[in-house]
Amino acid sequence: MIGRALHWRLPRTLYARVALILVIGLALTQGASFWLTLTERDNATTDVMMGYVEREVASSVALLDHLPASERADWLPRLARRTYRFILGPGETGAPPDARLSARMAESIEAGIGRKYPVSVNTIPDSREHLQVHLKLTDGAPLTIDVLPMSSIPISPWLPFTLALQLAVIVACSWLAVRLATRPLQQLAKAADALGPDLKGERLPEKGPSEVARAARAFNSMQERIAGYMAERIQILAAISHDLQTPITRMRLRVETMDDQVQGARLQRDLAEMETLVKEGLAYARTMHGVNEDIHRTDLHALLESLVYDYVDTGAAVSLDAHESVTIATRPNALRRLIGNLVDNALKFAGQAAIEMRHDHVNHVVISVLDRGPGISPEALEAVFEPFYREETSRNRATGGTGLGLAIARQLALALNATLTLENREGGGLEARVVLNAA
């Protein structure tokens, strides 16, 4: 329960947490040592004062005792001190002293004169500590010592300022130290985030405190290793895909000269499927390697129109709905392949595709590819982007395909700095949405 309450109150960032712990810890120890110094100072000054009172009172009483009774009154002002004065007379009576300081004061006075003059001590009810010590001089005259014990010297007025200044220094130092410690973490997170699919992330600077430099080195070499493994794998994929093309072509030629027409047709279909796989595998490997195309200012309307014409030419039902033309800086071939993959899917699974383009006039252009096909089950909406993933239904329906189309599309979207999402439409069908940065 307490743990939870604490958990809720703790600030979210490591930065704030460490700063808080440091500031609270340092301020507490600071307060404790301040308190300790004050108490020590109090004790020490009280000790000194008591010794002084012991000697002073003894000599003053001795002096008064020696003086003739008529001259005593004249001396009283000279013998008075900050914490006590002498009164000729019996004084007031009261309860015995109970406060610590009064008790010590009485003790010191008794230690100074008690052996020669029996004394009695009592407190005087007052707004502050007040006591009187009564004794009789050798000639029988009563003498009272009126004591107003004062605890040590008051605190100097600049002390709060010094304290505040110290606290400010503590806060500033903690802030600096924590910043120093957490900034590299932020940089590391940023660098890790920035590591794109092409694995050509920025190298972290390998300098600063040794721990930071070491983490940066480790991060950089990890980045290189990942890029190395990836490149190797993609090369293998590309090599296999590429080298399969030749035997497939040879097999095709052989099938064409086969006598069995029925088997021949089946084999042709299988070979065509293998060819698609090889082609898409190669395309996937290439996009994984990064898109090397340069950025051009591109008229999106013209690009989509020519794409649609190509489909319509082959008899496919593809339409375009774009009200105005938008020109943005992008990689036109990659964008064309991306939209092409989405249209291919719509045609394959729905038999028709509608392309829509909208410009939100802030800095986004949205291109949607819509169909009225079966859509995708909600739990598979993300999974279909994985290479070779195909929904069970599409496997059974023998639509043919490798499951690489959307994986390639995602890679292309990343290379275009765009986002690609799928959504089932109201009334059935799928909407594949590409959001491009127009800024």
The nearer residue to ligand ADP, 303 or 384, going by C-beta atoms, is: 384
Question: Closest distance between ligand ADP and the C-beta of residue 403, in Å?
Answer: 4
Report what 349 binds from ligand ADP, Mg ion, none; CB cut-off 5-8 Å by kind: ligand ADP
Give the shortest CB-376-to-ligand ADP separation in angstroms: 5
When CB distances are held under 5 to 8 angstroms depending on the partner's kind, the choice from ligand ADP, Mg ion, none that residue 117 binds is: none
Which of 294, 290, 280, 284 minimizes the C-alpha distance to 332?
A: 294
For residue 429, the minimal CB distance to Mg ion (Å) is: 16
Q: Which does 375 bind (CB under 5 to 8 A by kind): ligand ADP, Mg ion, none?
A: ligand ADP
Q: What residue 384 binds from ligand ADP, Mg ion, none (CB within 5 to 8 A, per partner kind)?
A: ligand ADP
By CB neighbour count within 10 A (0-12 exposed, 13-18 middle, 19+ buried), where does 99 fall? Answer: middle
**CA-to-CA dists, residue 335 to 300, 341, 435, angstroms:** 9, 10, 11
- Rounded to a whole number of angstroms, the minimum distance from the CB of residue 268 to Mg ion is 21
Q: Which of 86, 349 has the CB closer to ligand ADP?
A: 349
Rg (CA), the chain: 47
- The token duo for 162 is 């010094």
Q: Quote the CA–CA distance of 345 and 316 in Å, as a whole number.
A: 12
Q: Which is nearer to Mg ion, 109 or 406 (CB)?
A: 406
Rounded to a whole number of angstroms, the minimum distance from the CB of residue 389 to ligand ADP is 6
Chain centroid to CA 178: 12
Backbone φ, ψ for residue 135 (5° rounding):
-155, 170
Residue 92 binds which entry of Mg ion, ligand ADP, none, CB below 5-8 Å type-dependent: none
Indicate the residue among 110 and 280 with the shorter CB distance to ligand ADP.
280
Minimum separation from the CB atom of position 341 to Mg ion (A): 6
CB closer to ligand ADP out of 119 and 407: 407
CB of 283 or CB of 365, closer to Mg ion? 283
Whole-number Å distance between alpha carbons of 256 and 243: 21
Question: 431 contacts which partner out of ligand ADP, Mg ion, none, CB within 5 to 8 A by kind?
Answer: none
Q: State the residues that interact with Mg ion by CB under 5 A.
A: 345, 405
Residue 391 binds which entry of ligand ADP, Mg ion, none, CB below 5-8 Å type-dependent: ligand ADP
Kindly tell me which of 358 and 372 has the beta carbon lying closer to ligand ADP: 372
Question: 138 vs 396, which CB is nearer to Mg ion?
Answer: 396
**Residue closest to Mg ion when measured from CB atoms:** 405
The least CB distance from residue 221 to ligand ADP, in Å, is 34
In eight-state DSSP terms, residue 258 is: -
Lookup: tokens for 144: 């009272």
> Minimum Å distance from CB 287 to ligand ADP?
13
Alpha-carbon distance of 425 to 37, in angstroms, equals 75
Q: What residue 403 binds from ligand ADP, Mg ion, none (CB within 5 to 8 A, per partner kind)?
A: ligand ADP
Backbone angles phi, psi at 47, to 5 degrees: -55, -50
Q: Of these partners, Mg ion, ligand ADP, none, which one is at the site of residue 376 (CB under 5 to 8 Å by kind)?
A: ligand ADP
Structure tokens at 229: 């493994």
Residue with tokens 């002002």: 77
Close Cβ partners of 349 (under 8 Å, ≥ 6 residues apart) = 371, 373, 374, 394, 399, 430
Residue closer to Mg ion (CB basis): 281 or 405: 405
d(CA 33, CA 27): 10
Which residues in this chain contact ligand ADP in the complex, by CB under 6 A? 345-346, 348-350, 371, 373-376, 384, 389-391, 394, 401-407, 430
Q: Which residue has the tokens 């000269």?
A: 257
Task: Give the nearest distance from C-beta 398 to Mg ion in angstroms.
Answer: 14
The closest alpha carbon to 342, from 422, 428, 438, belongs to: 422
Residues 310, 294: Cα–Cα separation, whole Å: 23
Contact between residue 197 and residue 231 where contact means Cβ atoms under 8 Å apart: no
Q: How far apart are CA 423 and CA 380, in angstroms?
A: 11
Least distance to ligand ADP, CB of residue 364, Å: 23
Question: In terms of CB distance, is 31 or 400 closer to ligand ADP?
Answer: 400
**Sheet arrangement for strand 364-370:** 317-322, 352-359, 364-370, 430-437, 419-424
Taking CB within 5 to 8 Å according to partner kind, which of ligand ADP, Mg ion, none is near residue 335?
none
